[in-house]
Each structure stands twice: as structure tokens, then as C-alpha cells.
Amino acid sequence: MFQLGWFGNLTAPEWTASPTSPYVTDDATNWMDGRFYIDQARNLERAGFDFLMLEDSLMVPDMYRGNSEMALKHARYAPKLDPVVAASMLAYATEHIGIICTASTTFYNPFQLARQFATLDHLTRGRIGWNMVTSSEDRAAQNFGMDKLPEHDLRYEMADEFKRAAEALWDSWDEDAITASPETGYYADYTKVHRADFEGRFYKTRGPLNVPRSPQHYPVYCQAGGSPKGRDFAAKHTDLILNIPNGPEEMKAFRDDIRKRAEGFGRNPDDIKIFFVILPLIGETEEHAREIQDEWNGRKETNFEINMSHFEATQEIDMSVFDPDKPLPADVTTNGHQSTLENTKRAWGDKTIREAASGGRISSLPLVGTAETVADEMEAVMEYVGGDGFLIYNQPMSRHYISTITDALSPALRRRGLIRSGFKHQLLRDNLRDPA
Ligand SMILES: Cc1cc2nc3c(=O)[nH]c(=O)nc-3n(C[C@H](O)[C@H](O)[C@H](O)COP(=O)(O)O)c2cc1C
């Protein structure tokens, strides 16, 4: 048995026919009212997904050729809604599925974040998670009044302290602080509500928080760092890790490495679930699935532009300064997603930038076939890797693609007893650790 998560973007759904969706709907202009995302969340819950992870970034990219044309043409990273705000609406529309919101430890403030996530944990009745990101863009830093992003490893030190500050605030209400006693007339017992008095190198907060202790006390901690510093952070602090290794061997190596690091931090590695990003291409027949794949690989110009936009957004690398008919120079570095860049260099090898960036899709496994054959492959790979789950992704999203997953792949997995058929617990953390 394994678990499913959904990599959600609060960005524009499909506005033109694509290999994974032949239909054009009016979602592309209506998505900002959130209803598309409510339908998505309900479908995922019905289909046995453990959680919906809402990614986030905080800028309109404009590195490629020095303007925002590529970013806005393909709308991968902007425009985008704020997941923390949207989560409360999704919470009201669902009962069981976990909702994980991305929030930056580099730009946000611990008191504000602790208050928002405690509120969301109440509103979801214990289904909230926090994707802790250190962020990766000077452009975002400039939106928050800084000149540039702090250095990569320093951001992880800040994140470590940020989390401790937030926890000091979440600890400030004892479990039994609220008495709401008709007899005494007291609502809360002031001796059970404490100041946090947190003072670190980067953050200082007095407390107490003005939100009472929430059902999970701390949100489910999620992280996606891949560098050595990022892996340590994730192994030390998280319940859930997202990663995109290339193929079963790398998946297994990544999982083994994290579990070993977790043990080194005195943790039970079974308390950490690792989700591998996949983008399955599901057809009605094998031939249909291969046609979808061929169409995907055939739109070389679009793939190239989307890749360029990916580089500028996540690594702040302007790829237009390199000759596209030569390989990516080995000495390119980033203060953004370092492991992403290293993975790209390894995957691209000696290929020219144009050749490498014109094909492919981001996925730990190729997964092309009918729901039945893809389900078989997922089962075999997960058995080899040892656990824990897959994070399904596509962008732009469409109702059609959601349906191929929730109405074809999920039922095929469920028939094999591979994914949950219900939710045993109320809290996201409990459901993650104990899949039904
Ligand atoms: C599946 C996945 C989802 C991610 N989601 C976000 C996100 O929403 N926002 C963000 O700023 N970074 C996101 N990241 C980036 C990570 O937080 C991290 O910065 C990146 O993987 C590089 O880690 P490293 O610097 O330790 O190599 C994501 C990464 C992965 C693999």
C-alpha cells in the first residue's frame, strides 16, 4: 500500500488544448474565484488522496531576456493566488483530505505565520500542513524590502530558527487552557496561557499567540529540499518530504538517505513519508497513451520556452545568455534551488540546451499507458523503493486531466488495494502515519 498527494498550483488552468486535455473550458478566466479548486479538492478527496499541496512563490519572474514575456505567456509561476487564504475555502468544501500550504521562512514573520496556521488547523479540524520553503528568488526578496535573497545555507539556518519561534508560539496555550465554565464564568485560565519570549539570531517574538491550541498543535511539516543542507533540514524537522529523483534507483537512494539521516537525528524514520513527483500520461489504450506522449514530446518550441521560464523562476538563471546549441556550461551556479540545478546538469549531460529543454516532462518515472498498466508500474516501483507515496503533478491543470487521475488511475489503484479507501482518523498527521 502507498499514499497519494497532489501537487497543486493556484495558477491558471488550461486555456488552450494540450496533450493531456483536448478541451478548452472557461476555467482559465474564472479560476480566480476558487471554484475550480474546490471541485479539484473534492475530486481528490473522493479518489483517496491523502493531501493537496499548494505550492507558492512570491513574484512575477522577469529574468529571461530581462522581461516577463515568457513567464506570463506560459503562466506557470504567475499569476497565482495566495494558498494560505485559499486554504480556508478548500477546508470548508472538504472533510478529510489534508491541505498543505506553502509559506516562506525567509520572507514571512513567525508570529503572523503561527497565527495563520493555527487558525487554518482549527478551520480544517486538524488537516493543515505547512510546506516550509526558504524561497529562491531575489525578485521575491525585493518584493519584501530586501535587496537580495540571503545566501542558500543561511536561509536553512533561518528556517530552523523560524520553526522554533513558531513552535514557541504554538506552545503558548496549554491544552486545557479553555475552560468556558458556566459555573465560574471564566472563559480561559490565564495561568495556562504563557508568553513565548523567543529570542534568536534572526527572530524575536513575545507571545502568547492569540489563537488557542489547534487540533494538531503543530501543522504537518512538509519540505522539499534536496541539497545536503536541505536533506538534513527535512530529515530533522518534517513529517513529509517531496522530491523528484530520476528513476527507481535514485528514488530508493534518496529515501534510504533521508531515513538514515532521520535516525541520526534520533527520529523514527517511519514517521517521515517521502512523496515522489510523477506526471502520468494515461490513455484509453496503450496506443492512445503513446500518442499523448508523442504530442507532448513533439511540441518542442513550447517545451523549450516552458523550461526557460522554469529556470528563471526557480533558479533565477537567464538561459538566454547561453548558446542554446551548446551544452549548459558546467560552472553555472544558483542561489535558488541548488539540487534542481544539479539534477538538471546530470540529466542533460552533453546534450545541447535546445535539445535537452525541448523534450521531456518533470517526473520521477515515465509512466505512459492505460490506468491499469500505469497502476501496475507504480506498484512495482513502490515495492522496489520501499514506500511511501507519489505526488501527482501537471500544469496547467484541467478538469480532463484531473478526471484521468481521479476516475481512471485512482480506481485502478484502489482495486489493487494499493491506496486508501477511506480515512480512519480526523487529523492529517494520523492519517499520514496510518493509511487505511
Ligand atoms: C516537489 C517540490 C515542490 C516544491 N515547492 C516549492 C514551492 O512551492 N515554493 C518554493 O519556493 N519552493 C518549492 N520547492 C523548492 C524547495 O523548497 C527547495 O528550495 C528546492 O527543492 C531546492 O532545494 P535545495 O536548495 O536544498 O537544493 C519545491 C521543490 C520540489 C521538489
pLDDT tens digit string along 160-193?
A: 999 999 999 999 999 999 999 999 999 999 999 9
Nearest atom (ligand 1) to Cα of 242: 1
From the CB of 340, is ligand 1 less than 6 Å away? yes
Nearest atom (ligand 1) to Cα of 244: 31
Q: Which of 51, 55, 334 to mutate to test the pocket of ligand 1 (most atoms within 8 A of CB)?
A: 55
Using the mean position of ligand 1's atoms as its centre, give its distance from the Cα of residue 54 in Å.
Answer: 12
Please state the rounded mean pLDDT for residues 393-414: 97
| Residues ≥6 apart with Cβ < 8 Å to 21 | 14, 398, 399, 400, 401
Using the mean position of ligand 1's atoms as its centre, give its distance from the Cα of residue 224 in Å.
Answer: 5
Nearest-CA residue for ligand 1 atom 22 is: 337
Q: Quick check: 436 pLDDT over 90?
A: no
Looking at residue 148, its pLDDT comes to 95
Q: CA–CA separation, 258 vs 268, rounded Å?
A: 11
Looking at residue 227, its pLDDT comes to 86
Please state the rounded mean pLDDT for residues 120-148: 96
Looking at residue 367, its pLDDT comes to 98
Assign 225 a pLDDT band (cuts: 50, 70, 90).
confident
Domain ranges of the chain: 3-286+363-433
Give which of 261, 227, 255, 260 is closest to 241, Cα–Cα. 255
Please state the rounded mean pLDDT for residues 415-424: 96
From the CB of 363, is ligand 1 less than 6 Å away? no
Which amino acid makes up residue 207? G
Q: What mean pLDDT, rounded, does the chain reach?
A: 95
Reported as half-sphere exposure (CB side, CA atoms, 13 A), residue 145 has a value of 2
Q: Quick check: 243 pLDDT over 90?
A: yes
Nearest-CA residue for ligand 1 atom 18 is: 225
Nearest-CA residue for ligand 1 atom 15 is: 224
The secondary structure of 332-380 as a DSSP string is ---SS-HHHHHHHHHHHTTS-HHHHHTS--S-SS--EE-HHHHHHHHHH
From the CB of 238, is ligand 1 less than 6 Å away? no
Nearest-CA residue for ligand 1 atom 21 is: 225
Looking at residue 338, its pLDDT comes to 78
Q: Is 190 buried (19+), middle (13-18) or exposed (0-12) by CB count in 10 A?
A: exposed
Looking at residue 391, its pLDDT comes to 98
Using the mean position of ligand 1's atoms as its centre, give its distance from the Cα of residue 340 in Å.
Answer: 8
**Rg over CA atoms, the chain:** 22
pLDDT tens digit string along 328-383?
A: 998 898 887 778 888 888 888 899 999 999 987 889 999 999 999 999 999 999 99
Q: CA–CA separation, 2 vs 8, rounded Å?
A: 19
Q: Which residues are annotated as a binding site?
A: 56, 102, 152, 156, 227
* Domain 3-286+363-433 is found in CATH 3.20.20.30: yes
From the CB of 277, is ligand 1 less than 6 Å away? yes
From the CB of 135, is ligand 1 less than 6 Å away? yes
Assign 307 a pLDDT band (cuts: 50, 70, 90).
very high
Looking at residue 423, its pLDDT comes to 95
Nearest atom (ligand 1) to Cα of 133: 17
Nearest-CA residue for ligand 1 atom 14 is: 224
Q: Which residues are annotated as a binding site for FMN?
A: 56, 102, 152, 156, 227
Using the mean position of ligand 1's atoms as its centre, give its distance from the Cα of residue 60 in Å.
Answer: 17
Assign 116 a pLDDT band (cuts: 50, 70, 90).
very high
5 three-class SS: strand
Q: CA–CA separation, 23 vs 31, rounded Å?
A: 16
Q: CA–CA separation, 252 vs 235, rounded Å?
A: 15
Using the mean position of ligand 1's atoms as its centre, give its distance from the Cα of residue 339 in Å.
Answer: 9
Nearest atom (ligand 1) to Cα of 393: 1
